[in-house]
Amino acid sequence: MLAGVFEIGGGYLVWIWLRDGKSFWYGIIGAITLILYGIIPTLQPSNSNFGKVYAAYGGIFIVLSILWGWKIDNVMPDKFDLIGGFIALIGVIVIMYAPRG
C-alpha cells in the first residue's frame, strides 16, 4: 500500500507540475517521492521474488489509482473501473497465495 501511495503520489505531483503549470517544486517533490517508491519494495522479506512482488503491487496500484482519481481528482469510478479493479485484486490473490510446488 505504501509503495502504491508513493508511486501514484509522486507521479501525480510530476503530472500537475507539467500539465497544470504548478511550481517546479511539485516536480522535485514528485521525483523524490518516486525515488522513495523505488526503495520501498526492497523492504520486503529477503526471500521475495522481484517479479512477483511487482506483479502483486501492480494489482494494488490499479485499485489505488482508481481510488486516487475518485478522492483527489473527483472522478467517480464507473462499473467498468470497479470490475477491472476487482479483477486486478483477484490477480494479486492468485499471484501471492496460489499453491506452488
What does DSSP assign to residue 98? Answer: S
Residues 28 and 74 in one domain: no
Shared domain check, 25 and 3: yes
| 39 and 49 part of one domain | no
Note the residue count of the chain. 101
Rounded mean pLDDT, 59-84: 96
Count of structural domains within the chain: 2
Phi-psi region of 16 (alpha: psi -120 to 50; beta: other; left: phi over 0): alpha
The parent domain of residue 50 ranges over 45-101
Question: Residue ranges of the alpha helices (H) in the chain?
Answer: 2-19, 24-39, 50-71, 79-97
Q: Which region holds residue 22: left if phi is over 0, alpha if psi is between -120 and 50, else beta?
A: beta
Instruction: Please check whether residues 101 and 59 belong to one and the same domain.
Output: yes
Pair 16, 52 in one domain: no
The per-residue pLDDT for 1 is: 85
Global model pTM greater than 0.95: no
